[in-house]
Amino acid sequence: MKKSIAIILVLMLIFTALFTACTPAKTNMILATGGTSGTYYPYGGAMAQIFNSKIQNMNVTAQSTGASVENCKLLGQNEAELAIVQNDMLDYAYNGIEAFAAGKIENIRGIATLYPEIVQIVASVDSGITNIKDMKGKRVSVGAPGSGVEANARQIFEATGLTYNDMSVSYLSFSESADAFKDKHIDCFFVTSGIPNAAIQDITAQNDIVLVSLTDDVVKTLTQKYPFFVEYNIPAGTYKGQSSDVKTVAVMATLATNSNVSEDVIYSITKALFENQPELAQAHAKGAELVLEEAVKGISIPFHPGAEKYFKEKGLLK
């Protein structure tokens, strides 16, 4: 009897070992997003949920970060496998310019554009700011140091003939800018994100604001010098008290990866993203702006082979 039990136990151990060996290993991935008060973090969380539920043995974790510049570096250092990044930042990173002048990140790869990110310029009514030139001598937050927001602010000032020397500049994140604005420590701040932005919505609950429009000349200068910019109108009513459209520019939020991630994994990620777009739209409003036919536009760096394979199947790439 004891011998029979021993044999059964041995067989059970053997079957367990065989089953474990045959079970595919889980793929663990970090999805670098942005600050918790911005759009990247909740959007990344919604994508991660889709990847984890639709792809077998996939475990993607959305991680809060300092957004585009930090995300490019995380990809380059293999500390994240996926990231949401502005398309202009991807271009800078791959070519080693702007915030990446110290060195190129040549292993970074594109997957797909997700939605437009709009440059939004918020000023207090008391500041008297109604256009970019009015910011001379004012207290302005241009975004976190090295962020995509900060690069966009600098480009807009350059197109208007201003520099940071013409104003008192603070380098604050979305949430820090919102707090400083409410406490009247700054007159104006820049945000590059989807609309509506949660930090701006929070401000308008108790404060009147001015959304600063760009002139036609500034928009033309920006789009000619920086092809990743597109003209964009923020529709009236996007924010409380906004009675008219506001002319500005936008870049594209883009899902990126690095060349070390396998073709099969990124193919599965890309396929799951677009085949479950309605589910993404239910989880986050910006998911409604994910359009397969537009997903290959605005990416100036090489596509990852896995994404390229999917888009070729769909006839979007040759």
Indicate the pairing of strand 82-86 with strand 246-258. antiparallel
Question: How confident is the model at residue 18, as a pLDDT?
Answer: 46
- Measured CA to CA in angstroms, residue 251 lies from 119, 138, 139, 229 at distances of 8, 26, 25, 5
Any idea which of 59-63, 126-130, 146-150 has the lowest mean pLDDT? 146-150
Tell me how far apart the alpha carbons of residues 88 and 273 are, in angstroms, rounded to a whole number: 22
pLDDT at 274 over 80: yes
Nearest to 60 by CA among 86, 22, 33: 33
Angle at 198 between CA 164 and CA 85, to 5 degrees: 65
Judged against a pLDDT cut of 90, whether residue 226 lies above it is answered with: no
Q: Inform me whether the pLDDT recorded for 3 exceeds 70.
A: no
Ranges of beta strands (E only) in 8-65 are 27-32, 58-63
- Evaluate whether 138 touches 122 at the Cβ level (below 8 Å): no
What's the average model confidence in pLDDT over 135-153?
A: 92
More confident call, 18 vs 43: 43
Q: What is the mean pLDDT of residues 157-174?
A: 96
As a whole-number percent, the residues of the chain with pLDDT over 70 amount to 92
User: Would you say residue 12 has pLDDT above 70?
Assistant: no
State the chain's mean pLDDT as an integer.
Answer: 91
pLDDT at res. 4:
59
Q: How many residues does the chain have?
A: 318
Residue 316's nearest CA partner among 293, 298, 300 is 293
Domain 117-251 is in which class? alpha beta
User: Would strands 139-141 and 27-32 be described as parallel, antiparallel, or unpaired?
Assistant: unpaired
Average pLDDT over residues 280-307: 94
Q: Is the pLDDT of residue 194 over 50?
A: yes
Write down the CATH superfamily of domain 9-114+253-313: Periplasmic binding protein-like II (3.40.190.10)
Q: For the chain, what are the domain ranges?
A: 9-114+253-313, 117-251
Peptide bond into 227 cis (omega under 30): no
Residues in a beta bridge with 313: none
Question: How many CA atoms does the CB half-sphere of 141 hold within 13 Å?
Answer: 27
Q: Binning pLDDT at 50, 70 and 90, where does residue 172 land? A: very high
Same fold, 9-114+253-313 and 117-251: yes
DSSP 8-state class, residue 303: B
What are the tens digits of pLDDT across the range 17-27? 444 445 568 99
CA distances to 272, 282, 318 from 309, rounded to whole Å, are: 14, 27, 10
